[in-house]
């Protein structure tokens, strides 16, 4: 019979608990570096994903702000276009013969681009009232 020497300690009935502890420590010492490297890799991967997520979130926020500003400019341009169409209708219908209305319209045309949206809404309502009075007669 052949005897092979190993590093595993001999187990006797007297030191079985101690032998179990030594064997468990030996197994953990051999397996722990594998799990430790795997865990570090997963942690690094999670940190990378968080960084990518924050970058994408900031890009998304920037794009959203850009789209919102484009929508505001489009809304303002649309209202200006409506005002100009109504002024055109007033000119075509002969309402501009009144001097005060002509003066107000000239001033409005000069400052139309700088008016805030609330004032544009007010001017839209005002031109609509003027047109309604004209065509109600």
125 occurs within a structural domain:
yes
What total of structural domains would you count in the chain? 1
Supply the pLDDT for residue 12: 62
Distance of CA 5 to the CA centre of its chain: 67
Supply the pLDDT for residue 10: 64
The first and second tokens of residue 104, run together, are 């107000």
Supply the pLDDT for residue 13: 62
Question: Which of the 8 DSSP states describes residue 10?
Answer: P
In the chain, which stretches have pLDDT less than 50? none
118 occurs within a structural domain:
yes
67 occurs within a structural domain:
yes
Cα–Cα distance measured from residue 81 to residue 10, given in angstroms and rounded to the nearest whole number: 96
Q: Provide the domain limits for residue 130.
A: 16-136
pLDDT digits (tens, 9 = 90+) for 34-70: 788 888 889 999 999 999 999 999 999 999 999 999 9
115 occurs within a structural domain:
yes
83 occurs within a structural domain:
yes
Q: What DSSP line would sit under 61-104, residue for residue?
A: HHHHHHHHHHHHHHHHHHHHHHHHHHHHHHHHHTGGGSHHHHHH
Provide the whole-model pTM.
0.57
């Amino acid at each position: 019979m052949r005897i092979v020497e190993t590093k595993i300690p001999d187990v006797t009935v007297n030191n079985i608990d101690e032998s179990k502890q030594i064997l468990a420590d030996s197994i953990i010492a051999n397996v722990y570096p594998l799990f430790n490297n795997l865990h570090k890799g997963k942690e690094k991967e999670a940190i990378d994903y968080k960084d990518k997520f924050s970058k994408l979130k900031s890009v998304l926020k920037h794009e959203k702000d850009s789209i919102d500003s484009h929508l505001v400019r489009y809304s303002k341009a649309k209202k200006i276009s409506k005002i100009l169409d109504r002024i055109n209708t007033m000119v075509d219908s002969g309402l501009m013969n009144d001097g005060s209305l002509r003066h107000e319209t000239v001033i409005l045309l000069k400052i139309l681009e700088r008016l805030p949206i609330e004032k544009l809404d007010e001017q839209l309502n005002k031109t609509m009232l003027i047109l309604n009075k004209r065509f109600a007669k």
